[in-house]
Amino acid sequence: MREWGTKPELAADAKPHWELIEQYDIIDFALGNKITGAGFPVYKDKGARLQRALINFFLDEARAAGYVEVQVPILVNEASGYGTGNLPDKEGQMYHATADDLYLIPTAEVPITNLYRDDIIATERLPIRNTGYTPCFRREAGSWGAHVRGLNRLHQFDKVEIVHITQPENSYAALDGMVAHIEGLLQKLELPYRVLRLCGGDMGFTSALTFDLEVWSGAQQRWLEVSSASNFETYQANRLKLRYRPEGTKTQLLHTLNGSALALPRIVAALLENNQTPEGIRLPKALHSYCGFETIGG
């Protein structure tokens, strides 16, 4: 749909993020593998502080845009997985605590949207706009190869989610607003990005329309998906029995939407790669006050 920013011109010996994190000792995959397994990194020192800074930055930006922050469980029951369309479909990608029949969430969309399961929402409460930070867990069964190296694909990662619930006639304007919010975050992080409108074959079956946002990874020389924003229309609301009652009429289904704002791993990868210099990695100004430092290394 559109593209923003200028791709960085890096030196011929520019390093991918998996070499940079080792050079500056900020993320340790070997330690994560030791205590858990592959795909569960340990963030250290400025790596851990950068993670916390990004989470707080994304939450503060969402709150400033009118989203109400919630903190939700990261384990959900089967009814919650069914309500958002994750079950029965993604059992093979979700971690399952079999003794209690609970699932580790693949995204905060699941518990946040289920806050309103079986509700009839008063019209004056609409639209509902929530944001929340959670760790996310995905088995990523069958993933392999160079394209999933380093932070490109993990089993556990951090993400700030935005969820929007509104009347059907307002949902596509809401989707445009969500995409604009995500673009604003990427612009403040000074990351070149592009917006893609997915064709039907690339969308999840629950979505009516999805936009993907991808950032440019300078050292890898490729685009990395960092967000999807979707309008599910009434698909989830029908499963959730999520309704409202317009004045003088029967109850009607609402529309639900969600977007990543943002997922951290590939954002971190792009920040490290695009901003590397011989003197260290220079972070964008938007993060300086959150991090308490302006550079990594040097």
The pLDDT tens digits of the residues spanning 182-227 come to 999 999 999 999 999 999 988 888 999 999 999 999 999 999 999 9
The answer to whether residue 260 is catalytic is no
Residue the block writes with tokens 């993907």: 212
- CA 226, 105, 103 angle in degrees (round to 5)? 155
Predicted confidence band at 17 (pLDDT cuts at 50, 70, 90)? very high
The answer to whether residue 194 is catalytic is no
The answer to whether residue 19 is catalytic is no
The pLDDT tens digits of the residues spanning 59-72 come to 999 999 999 999 99
Where does residue 280 fall: left (phi above 0), alpha (psi -120 to 50 degrees), or beta otherwise? Answer: left
Q: Quick check: 181 pLDDT over 80?
A: yes
Q: At what angle do helices 46-64 and 171-188 cross, to 10 degrees?
A: 140
pLDDT for the residue 172 = 98
pLDDT for the residue 89 = 78
Q: Quick check: 75 pLDDT over 90?
A: yes
Q: Enter the DSSP assignment of 199.
A: P
pLDDT for the residue 263 = 97
Predicted confidence band at 121 (pLDDT cuts at 50, 70, 90)? very high
pLDDT for the residue 33 = 96
Q: Taking the mean position of all CA atoms in its chain, how far away is CA 171?
A: 20
**Per annotation, catalytic residue among 129, 138, 239, 243:** 138
The whole-number average pLDDT for the span 221-248 is 96
**Per annotation, catalytic residue among 117, 139, 149, 153:** 153
pTM assigned to the model: 0.96
The answer to whether residue 243 is catalytic is no
CATH number where 16 lies: 3.30.930.10
Strand partners, 200: none
Among 186, 159, 162, 152, smallest CA distance to 2 is for: 186
**Per annotation, catalytic residue among 22, 183, 225, 294:** 225
- Residue range(s) defining the domain that contains residue 282: 2-296
**Per annotation, catalytic residue among 227, 239, 266, 273:** 266
Question: The sheet that has 96-97: what strands, in order across it?
Answer: 75-76, 102-104, 96-97
The pLDDT tens digits of the residues spanning 86-110 come to 998 777 889 999 999 999 999 999 9
The answer to whether residue 124 is catalytic is no
**Per annotation, catalytic residue among 207, 217, 227, 228:** 228
Of the listed ranges 71-75, 175-179, 241-245, 247-251, the one predicted with least confidence: 247-251
Structural domain total, the chain:
1
Q: Answer whether 193's CB lies under 8 Å from 5's CB.
A: yes
pLDDT for the residue 220 = 95
Where does residue 142 fall: left (phi above 0), alpha (psi -120 to 50 degrees), or beta otherwise? Answer: left
